[in-house]
A and B are shown apart, each in its own frame.
Chain A
Amino acid sequence: MMRRKIGLVVLLAAMLGLVFASVGSGRTAAHKATPFKVAWIYVGPHNDAGWSEAHDKGRLYVQGKLGSNVQTTYKENIAVGTQFNQTVASLVAQGYKMIFATSYGYVTPQIAAQYPQVKFEQATGTLVKQNVSEYFGAAEDTVFLSGLAAGAAAKCNTIGYVVAYPIPEVIRHANAFALGARLTHPGVKVKLVWTHSWFDPTKEKQAAQSLHAAGACVLGQNVDSPAAGQYAESVHIPWVGYDSNAMHFAPKSWLTASVYNWGPYYLKRVKAAMAGTWKPGFYYGSIKNGFTKLAPYGPRVKAKTKALIAKYEKRIEKGTYYEFTGPLRDQKGKLRVKKGVRMKVLKGGTNSLYGMNWLVQGVIGSPKG
């Protein structure tokens, strides 16, 4: 009996092989001029109306500008670890020379060493190696501006903020949001709910529900889907998005959002790689160079608020204002950043943008998740 079963399975495997082999025999003809092949890897779906969609717009921008000189592709919903490594292996086998990994944790020193001929670019991380670059930008500035809109729209004393992971990137955005909201609405509390996922519409909606039930009359988010916005629309409260313009998901609730414009950076890097002038580095974009901006306003944003936001945007752009300038106090009221001190991106340990592990005054929630 046992032997027969084994025989059967072997046969099954052989058949499977045969089926594939028969279709595998017809290879395509050799290419003519080979375009430069670049791939993007996303944590969520390419059309998530958030983070990944913003990156995919950047990819299409590159494809549009360079036309047939490049061939771009993307891989979506890729898990960190073995699945990322599998994806890279298949991309390299298909001749991809450059890979934009759009989330932290994807590119490891091991995989970078395994494919020294491939140029890796990773968003939001700090791993710079001979063939690895890191890039991101001052979204906190525009998140701060969107916080101004949230504070102005709040008719109660609690704003809900749906957050992904308890990591410095998310913590600094939550802090920037709270600093903005408390500027236009002194004393307002920003309440956090963690989802432990970049993209999980179900959890994001549940988080929005619980924040609303806890008294939040405005919602904001640092997660990738518009689920919280759809919930906000259903209960008629204002909503601030993140990553991409998702106004059409909640046309009445929509206030604005901090959105990314990855395209110009991608174009610059792909061109450099094609020309052989690519060098690893750490890029941090800003409002000034067009990396981040505010999405168009929704109908609920008053003219007065728009004018105020425009004023702050100008000042940030000119460098005469920076939201992460001391004095900054944490949740317990302890002075973290002294008066007049500006926080830096990488330098300063837990008082840097990339190391921030504490929440500013007025935020309710734990920086540990």
Chain B
Amino acid sequence: MSWRADVATVRALVRRALNEIFRVPGAAIPGILAPTIFFLGLTSVFGSLTLLPGFTTSSYQSFLIPISMLQGAGFTGAATGVNLARDIEQGWFDRLLAAPAPRPVLLAGLVLSASLRSLLPATFLLAVGLAIGVHWPGLLGLLIALFLVMGMAVVAATWGTSLAFRFRTQSAAPLMQIGMLLAILTTTAYAPQHLLTGWLQTVAKYNPVTQVVEAARQGFVGSVSWSDTWPGLLTLFGLAAILGFFALRGMRRMTID
């Protein structure tokens, strides 16, 4: 098959996933609502943390917004895994496997749809955030944040699809969601690294997602620099490559079974 056919396959799979937004709008609401409630709630509750000496900004909503955007991406990516598990349960994915399309192309269709869908909660959160006083990150800061959000959705989707191929049931949904939630929250989500306490200070230091959080946050709490950006990009490429490998291996095993 030519590369044109591959692109057409990816486009068809992306379109199928995006159709769901229009045909089942209710399904997209939890992915938007949950991070928004967390964003508004945590801002109200922990907003005074900025009064601590050494806190990097006086606006907690600006500090928190990238976390909520990445959370939205995490939920969206996990939802891709849940939808795939549903397709496997209903036998639809078996028919897809029987098609003469390369496995990486099928995976690309799934994860690209997640990255596009993640723009929905990110845009909504950004609008809510700007309305309640989030600092404007500048065009470059915004583009970097959105690119990282889309990348995080790819990572979450490869994580979700790996689990969907492993368990082949929608019952694995909590594992997909909680995995992403923990990956994002065990970073500098609530406070800067030096203000974290106990075990989280160590975990956040070595959690690769911290680099993604810091890269997405830079425009909202300060100025944008390449030195704060590349570690986040590298982490996302690394995570997507590793989890993508597992997802492809799961898909191949499913073909053999």
Q: Is the A/B pair a real complex? A: no
